[in-house]
């Protein structure tokens, strides 16, 4: 399948693995890229720019396919060394960067002068248009159902994607709620040039996370995510657990007076305890509603091959059959 996104990023299939804190290590990115998608290393999971340079080099030892790096601009306690990360990305020969969070303008000139394409992840059409205006090469449209930060507008992809198709000139991919061939075909039908998946890639053999995390995804349904930090306008979709119950209780009792410090122990610095140690109640961790569509732990190759085969079968068989039947019924009606 060739789309504007496979051409732009030099990949075989229009499937991207979005940046994921404490998941997007070299092993994850290499497995996705080796399977023909675009694997992405999460920049800020690497504590320093030189750690990121080492992680890129490690990933290069595992794949000769294109890989990307995610740079997230979120409110953090201390400001990361973005110029250092950009230097590591360019010197590491990376050709695709996924930016997310605040406006990525500060990193665009350096990246694009070095021949790096930038795909910015947005949760609203106005942010997508802004990304287009400042010169991003593509955008990833992250619907309300997504794991992580869905923004504050609460618009699901069924609306966001056709809106993006109507408004944007640059290519976009659908992000949030994507799991299988049905997701891919639906997204293509709504104007996207591919899909970006987060949560689904965590439940794969190669995802470098504790087995408890994968099991938690298998046991969860679409009803098991919650939104935290909405009163702080930093909404995050997470999997329900004891820490999330504590955060929601504080949000209820403190109301508008809540400060980040009131919940910090349950939302900051918790990823190593969850992803590495497998302590599933240690804090709030991002997870999409798509958990309801995850029922197995395939390899990335099996997952991507299955998505592509299913998508092609839906287009060639189910959709073509519906169109063929409707056309012949119409012809019969005209004859009689
Ligand atoms: C555990 C986890 C961690 C994530 N961390 C980040 C991150 O650090 N930066 C970022 O831009 N997006 C992050 N995301 C969002 C994903 O890149 C992607 O946009 C999202 O998962 C898509 O929705 P889905 O989970 O329904 O596929 C994270 C998602 C998950 C599930």
Beta-bridged to residue 138, according to DSSP, are 119
CB of 19 shorter than 6 A to ligand 1: yes
Helix segments in 192-269, DSSP class H: 199-202, 211-219, 242-254, 260-267
Among candidates 170, 123, 163, which has minimal Cα distance to 143? Answer: 123
Give the separation between CA 165 and CA 172, rounded to whole angstroms: 8
Q: How are beta strands 15-17 and 172-175 bridged, if at all?
A: unpaired
State whether the beta carbon of 5 lies less than 6 angstroms from ligand 1: no
CA-178 nearest atom, ligand 1: 27
Q: Is the CB of 288 under 6 A from ligand 1?
A: yes
Closest-CA residue, ligand 1 atom 6, reads: 20
Ligand 1 atom having least distance to the Cα of 98:
11
Task: Calculate how far, in angstroms, residue 183's C-alpha sits from the geometric centre of ligand 1.
Answer: 17
* pLDDT given for residue 326 in this prediction: 76
Q: What is the pLDDT of residue 163?
A: 98
Task: Render pLDDT for 214-268 as a digit per residue (tens, 0 to 9).
Answer: 999 999 999 999 999 999 999 999 999 999 999 999 999 999 999 999 999 999 9
Q: Answer for the pair 15, 305: CB distance below 8 angstroms, yes or no.
A: no
- Distance, CA 272 to ligand 1 centroid (Å)? 16
Predicted confidence at residue 296, as pLDDT, reads 98
Query: pLDDT above 90 covers what percent of the chain?
Result: 94
Specify the pLDDT at position 329: 78
Q: How far is the CA of 176 from the centre of ligand 1 (A)?
A: 8
Counting as low any pLDDT under 50, the low residues of the chain are: none
pLDDT value for 331:
78
Specify the pLDDT at position 74.
77
| Spatial contact of 41 and 27, defined as CB atoms under 8 Å apart | no
- 39 close to ligand 1 (CB < 6 Angstrom): no
Task: Tell me what pLDDT residue 1 has.
Answer: 95
207, 205, 250, 202: which is closest to 230 by C-alpha? 250
What is the predicted pLDDT for the residue at 254? 97
Give me the residue label for tokens 């021949």: 115
For residue 95, what are the CA distances in angstroms to 112, 127, 141, 312?
Answer: 9, 23, 20, 28
Q: Whose CA is nearest to atom 3 of ligand 1?
A: 20
Q: What is the pLDDT of residue 19?
A: 98
CA distance 64 to 28: 14
pLDDT of the residue at 276: 98
Question: Residues 32, 37, 42, 48: is their CA dihedral positive or negative?
Answer: positive
What distances in angstroms separate CA 116 from CA 8, 55, 136, one per listed residue?
A: 11, 18, 10
pLDDT of residue 76: 65
Q: What is residue 22's predicted lDDT score, i.e. its pLDDT?
A: 98
What does each C-alpha distance from 291 to 56, 147, 179, 272, 323 come to in angstroms?
A: 29, 9, 9, 21, 32
């Amino acid at each position: 399948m060739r789309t504007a996104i496979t051409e732009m990023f030099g990949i075989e299939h229009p499937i991207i693995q979005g940046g994921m804190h404490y998941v997007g290590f070299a092993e994850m990115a290499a497995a996705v890229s080796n399977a023909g998608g675009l694997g992405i290393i999460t920049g800020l999971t690497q504590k320093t720019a030189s750690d990121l340079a080492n992680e890129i080099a490690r990933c290069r030892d595992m794949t000769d396919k294109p890989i990307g790096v995610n740079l997230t601009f979120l409110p953090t306690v201390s400001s990361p060394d973005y110029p250092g990360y950009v230097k590591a990305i360019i010197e590491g020969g990376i050709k695709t960067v996924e930016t997310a969070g605040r406006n990525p303008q500060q990193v665009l000139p350096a990246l694009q002068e070095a021949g790096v394409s930038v795909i910015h992840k947005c949760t609203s059409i106005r942010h997508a248009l802004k990304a287009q205006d400042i010169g991003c090469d593509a955008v990833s449209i992250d619907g309300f159902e997504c794991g992580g930060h869905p923004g504050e507008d609460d618009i699901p992809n069924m609306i966001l994607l056709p809106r993006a198709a109507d408004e944007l000139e640059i290519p976009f991919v659908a992000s949030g709620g994507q799991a299988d061939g049905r997701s891919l075909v639906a997204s293509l039908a709504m104007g996207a040039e591919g899909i970006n998946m987060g949560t689904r890639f965590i439940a794969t053999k190669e995802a470098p996370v504790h087995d408890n995390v994968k099991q938690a995804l298998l046991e969860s349904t679409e009803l098991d995510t919650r939104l935290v930090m909405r009163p702080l306008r930093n909404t995050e979709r997470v999997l329900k657990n004891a820490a999330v119950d504590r955060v929601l209780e504080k949000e209820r009792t403190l109301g508008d007076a809540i400060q980040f410090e009131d919940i910090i122990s349950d939302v900051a610095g918790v990823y190593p305890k969850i992803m590495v140690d497998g302590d599933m109640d240690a804090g709030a961790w991002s997870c999409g509603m798509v958990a309801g569509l995850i029922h197995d732990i395939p390899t990335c190759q099996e997952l991507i091959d299955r998505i592509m085969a299913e998508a092609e079968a839906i287009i060639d068989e189910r959709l073509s059959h519906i169109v063929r039947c409707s056309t012949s019924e119409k012809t019969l009606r005209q004859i009689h």
